[in-house]
Amino acid sequence: MQNKVTVEEWIALFRETGLDEAAMERWHRLFEARHPEGHRSFLEWLGLEARRIEQIRAAHR
């Protein structure tokens, strides 16, 4: 298993499991609400830049 998963690969996994855009939004909102630091850490693991991470987190608070 590779050490990194790209954002595109992660989205593809979501879509393959049947998640649509609305479901992915709910996932982000729940992750941010229940585990904010875990959400941040996950987004960092995906390799997103700090500015993009803050945009995503702010949009899902």
Answer yes or no: is 50 within a domain.
Answer: yes
Answer yes or no: is 2 within a domain.
Answer: no
Answer yes or no: is 34 within a domain.
Answer: yes
Say how many domains are in the chain: 1
pLDDT tens-digit series, residues 14-61: 999 999 999 999 999 999 999 999 999 999 998 899 999 999 999 998
Q: What is the pLDDT of residue 5?
A: 87
Q: Angle at Cα 40 formed by Cα 34 and Cα 44, nearest 5°?
A: 150
Q: How far is CA 36 from CA 7, 15, 48, in A?
A: 19, 23, 16
Answer yes or no: is 42 within a domain.
Answer: yes
Q: Residue 30 sits in which domain range?
A: 7-11+18-59
Answer yes or no: is 1 within a domain.
Answer: no
